[in-house]
A = this chain, B = another copy of it.
Amino acid sequence: MNETICAVATKVGGAIAVIRISGPESISITDKVFRGTKNRKLADAKAYTVNYGHIIDKTEEEIDDVLVTVFRAPHSYTGEDSIEISCHGSEYIVKCIIQILIDAGCHQAEPGEYTRRAYLNGKMDLSQAEAVADLIASTNRATHKLALSQLKGHFSSELSVLRNQLLKITSLLELELDFSDHEELEFADRSELKALAQKIDERISTLAHSFVTGNAIKQGIPVAIIGKTNVGKSTLLNRLLHEDKAIVSDIHGTTRDVIEDTTQINGITFRFIDTAGIRQTDDTIEQLGIQRSYQKLEEATIVLWLLDSQPSAEEINDMNTRCQGKRVIVVQNKIDKGEQPLNIASSSLEPSASKEAPTLPLQATIIRLSAKLGTGINELCKALYKAADIPEISENSVIVTSARHYEALTCAQTSIQRVIEGMDSELPGDLIAEDLRICLDELGEITGGQITPQETLNNIFKHFCVGK
């Protein structure tokens, strides 16, 4: 923390790039290599001012025209004195300036080192620090809203409420212990304490359970498109991918770092799993491909079963077996060719299906469309969004998105349940207090504190990009 660090904070290669410096010597080191207008020193510049000048190398040769912003501790992102140098976006120039700064006394920043310092300087707690990385990685409305909510501390406040309630129970129990020989003193009703513990248990359970949603939002909802060959899988996929309308028609200079086959529906990412066409075949290689299609189906939450004609009862039965626990959308493609509506008894959704329809328990929505013409694609998108079953997400939503948090919550839940059991079996107060402490510690791990081990911090920050 005594070191002054530097790193490029933007991607390099645009019109401009920003280099960020943080630490006690930020200003004095930059002053060594910066020549401002009228020889003004950054040391004399006010905080939050932008200063024009140029960066020079050891031979006093000019490297670039720059704008330098000065931040003074504690009013900066890291809480330390900080500098931001805005230079031309050439990789060569950025390299030169970083090298000049290192020669002048800076250290190259590690991934996430700025945010780590912000955390260590008390500018944010650990879950907020993690939200910074999530915010930068956010690719749609849902991931963005969740990260922003976490960064704003909504999750932290929830945890703080829980911790205060736990502390209340603990202190009452401890009071009881301290004065256990003064039988005349009245203590809190055990059943009241138990009710509070149960409330805490419920809330922790809800939070832990929200990880299913949070994880689906973060990773994207896996959808397998499955069907026979030539049924129109690729055409449908292309249609769905083109639903991803860019907000601005054309932003040059942006790099799209996404997996090919994802689309956004109502701000949620759907991740399409490509599968080989399914058909009866003697070709060994093709059989392997079909086998793999069925395996990939396993990973999916939602299955799009694409058909262009009435499937046999056997096929429906087969799909029914394979799709247990999954949400199935049966898609009848090529309706432009005038095929009759499929005759599949989808228990709830097609009550009007004829009596001769295979009476299989397949729980499915049926969508009729033409992938070629685009007819019915909107209905499919709606069905996909409905099948994803994602709750409405607002700025204030508290949904757990981190496996680390989920793990801590699960452990905290085990402890609080032991507390409840302990109360039920009238265990001595000091044993119950022990479990309460564990629960408190587990919740405390999420937001971090003095006791957070280095290893945990290393694990968290190594996934950040350099410059953040």
Contacts and interface: CB of A to CB of B under 8 A. Distances in A.
Nearest to A111: B252
Nearest to A99: B247
A136 interface: yes
B144 A90 contact: yes
Given A86-B18, A98-B248, A253 B138 contact: no
A103 B135 CA distance: 23
A204 to B, nearest CB: 28
A465 B88 CA distance: 12
Nearest to A254: B12
Contacts of A114: 15
B8 A253 contact: yes
B62 A148 contact: yes
Given A89-B136, A247-B95, A252-B111, A16 B12 contact: no
Contacts of A253: 8, 10-12, 465-467
A10 B89 contact: yes
Interface string A1-20: 00000011111111111101
A143 to B, nearest CB: 8
Nearest to A255: B13
Contacts of A51: 48
A135 B93 contact: yes
A86 B65 CA distance: 19
Interface of A: 7-18, 20, 48-51, 61-65, 67, 69, 71, 84, 86, 88-96, 98-99, 102, 108, 111, 114, 132, 135-141, 143-144, 148, 151-152, 246-257, 395, 464-468
Given A14-B467, A15-B136, A92-B138, 11 more contacts: A8-B253, A10-B16, A11-B253, A12-B14, A18-B18, A67-B69, A90-B137, A93-B144, A252-B465, A253-B465, A253-B466
